[in-house]
Amino acid sequence: MIEDIQRAGSGSRRDQARQLITDLETRGRRALPLFISCLEDTGQDTLALFLQTSWQATKKDPEAIVRPLDLEPVVVGPTGRKPEKLNPSHPAPGNLSPVVLGPAQLRAEDLGPEAPRPAGIGSGGLSDVRAPEMLKRNARLAYVLSADPCGHCVIINNVNFCPASGLGARTGSNLDCVKMQRRFSQLHFQVEVRCDLTAEKMVQALVELARQDHHALDCCVVVILSHGCQASHLQFPGAVYGTDGCPVSVERIVNIFSGTSCPSLGGKPKLFFIQACGGEQKDVGFEVALSSPDDEAPGSSPESDAVPFQAGPRPGDQTDALSSLPTPSDILVSYSTFPGFVSWRDTSRGSWYIETLDGVLERWARSEDLQYLLLRVANAVSEKGIYKQIPGCFNFLRKKLFFKTE
């Protein structure tokens, strides 16, 4: 369609953009919604929402011209070409606001001061809070966290382990606990801290949480700070230790909050943050051109949250777990380290992962969704220390998640 419009040579790129939208409107009732859906699938959420708002408004009032947030539309040519601003007085076919097309590179000076900026413009990506605010209010694109408190948050902080377990005290974990308690309270969660639980008590505490009535709430968070190890799994790797030295698999923890076990959380995001080792391997990393000068603070003494993996493999454990992975929805499990590797904790500052997660949430939670936040965490942690560590996540969320920050 774009090639046909360009070959016709009718008018400026502004007119060609409007012609594309007009043609989409005449190609059946599903053409334009599918085009908007393609924009969403390719990460152009702000543009998709802009066009969706205009389209819905013109369906209700064909005489109206809608300009969300008074955004002056800009049509952009091929990459590197200067955008051409539209003439607001020019009538738009179908009374639709124009749409940005092509692999555009928008410059901050070409956007009005009140316009939402695409990621990458300015110092903070989506620096203008209007764009995420638009997404937050769109239930098709983002989970709506409107309740206050928006959900329960349980923090299990295992520091002291029984001598028979062979596990040392996790010095510095109390700092992690305080940071997470403060951070999620500020994010409008009702926080409960449980300390030094055996494996049985850990499961019991989580079952009690799952059995609560969450109908009036919008989200649920579980933070676990403990020693960890590898564990056989079909769904989620790893296990965390109770203070008695008995492991509880992450898979079992997540399944406590499944749709059948916790129906009042159905369709709502369930977030798990695991600060524990995924095994005993120490990653020495590989050389790169640049290194961070702030990798380690003077006098720091990092420890790992790992013990050797004792259990032998079961038949079939070597098969590809992804082939039998189910598709649970509305679940995200964030791990402090890659499966099989240790997770580092500084005895005087707390763990690398929790310290970084807290700092990223403080600075960016107002303007970025959870996936972008966790990418920032992974990048920052990967640059630390002599030994290396890379956080990651298993993400089965269906929408973007913006924390409640006001």
Residues labelled catalytic = 227, 277
d(CA 60, CA 174): 56
SS3 readout for the chain: CHHHHHHHCCCCHHHHHHHHHHHHHCCCCCHHHHHHHHHHHCCCHHHHHHHHHHHHHHHHCCCCCCCHHHCCCEECCCCCCCCEECCCCCCCHHHCCCCCCCCCCCCHHHCCCCCCCCCCCCCCCCCCCHHHHHHHCCCCCECCCCCCCCEEEEEEECCCCCHHHCCCCCCCHHHHHHHHHHHHHHCCEEEEEEECCCHHHHHHHHHHHHHCCCCCCCEEEEEEECCEECCCCCCCCCEEECCCCCEEEHHHHHHCCCCCCCHHHCCCCEEEEEECCCCCECECCCCCCCCCCCCCCCCCCEEECECCCCCCCCCCCCCCHHHHCCCCCCEEEEECCCCCECCEEECCCEEHHHHHHHHHHHHHCCCCCHHHHHHHHHHHHHCCCCCECCCEEEECCCCECCCCCC
The C-alpha atoms of residue 191 and residue 153 are separated, in whole angstroms, by 5
Task: Report the alpha-carbon distance of residue 387 to residue 305 in Å, rounded.
Answer: 14
Alpha-carbon distance 135 to 129, whole Å? 10
Residue closest to 23 by CA, chosen among 103, 99, 105: 99
